[in-house]
Structure 1
């Protein structure tokens, strides 16, 4: 729980700073996920960050996410919402609808289902349970990285850049 509160505090503080900056779609994501600062997020970086996320919510460090840990994930998302964070939070005034952040979208940008940010964690994690045993392991979570990247990569270059965020470009 201590790790969760530390991360939540950092995210809330970061949200305030980001709101003071000019609007740049995906800027917060790129700052957090572009580990080598080369302007793009590769599959290697996605796998590393997803491993870090898993570890953050795996309270007892057993390499498995339990029902109680899913609740912790939902509580974390609720804290982010209350802090004005989450998909579309930097939406310019007057802009409505999905921001094109790729969450819950296929490559074509069409909404196919409720975004992962809005779905209960237990429901979201079911799709990662590769062997159907009701338990999501570190390996199952991290192995979902390629699909996670593919869903957000608008131009199919296997790299997330600022061009993969914001409204679709004509």
Structure 2
């Protein structure tokens, strides 16, 4: 498994072009064959570093649209189960918990935890290839 270039739950980004998400294998930062909650948390941080252009701690409509587009592009170019699950599982409908049109770091963390727990079928705290 490759290391994250700049992260993504995985987000590997080019700052000179539109942000993109890394392949599912890149979510495994330590290349041990599993994706841990700590790796997901690191990805959330990197999502905000990349997509929160105004640095206000929340993804507004335009910023979240860029995140939506990056997830969709990754799922199209690398159609793994995990990439496809990220498209739907991390949609605004699942992350904007208070429906105010902005997704805060805390909301994203809560949504990513639910997404992670949904994929971690055996509840052992790690996502393995058999689970996605």
Fold shared per TM-score above 0.5: yes
The 2-side partners of 1:61 and 1:7 are apart by: 16
Counterpart check, 1:117 vs 2:77: no
Q: 2:9 corresponds to which residue?
A: none
Q: 1:163 corresponds to which residue?
A: 130
Q: 1:65 corresponds to which residue?
A: 59
Count of aligned residue pairs for this structure pair: 120
TM-score (norm. length: structure 1)? 0.55
Which secondary structure does the structure 2 equivalent of 1:144 belong to?
helix
Q: 1:36 aligns with which of 2, 24, 30?
A: 30
Using a 3 Å threshold, how does the CA distance of structure 1 residues 29 and 76 change in structure 2: closer, same or farther? closer
Q: Is the CA contact (8 Å cut-off) linking 1:40 and 1:160 kept in structure 2? A: yes
Unaligned runs of 5+ in 1: 12-27, 89-98, 105-115, 166-170
Unaligned runs of 5+ in 2: 1-13
TM-score (norm. length: structure 2)? 0.68
CA RMSD across the alignment? 3.2
- Bigger radius of gyration, 1 or 2? 1
- 1:56-101 superposed Cα distances (whole Å, 9 cap, x missing partner): 21121211111111232244345446xx51434xxxxxxxxxx5x4
Which one scores higher on RCO, CA 8 angstroms, separation ≥ 6? 1
Moved over 3 A (4+): 77-81, 101-104
Q: 2:77 corresponds to which residue?
A: 85
The 2-side partners of 1:70 and 1:4 are apart by: 18
Using a 3 Å threshold, how does the CA distance of structure 1 residues 70 and 145 change in structure 2: closer, same or farther? closer
- 1:11-32 superposed Cα distances (whole Å, 9 cap, x missing partner): 5xxxxxxxxxxxxxxxx423x1
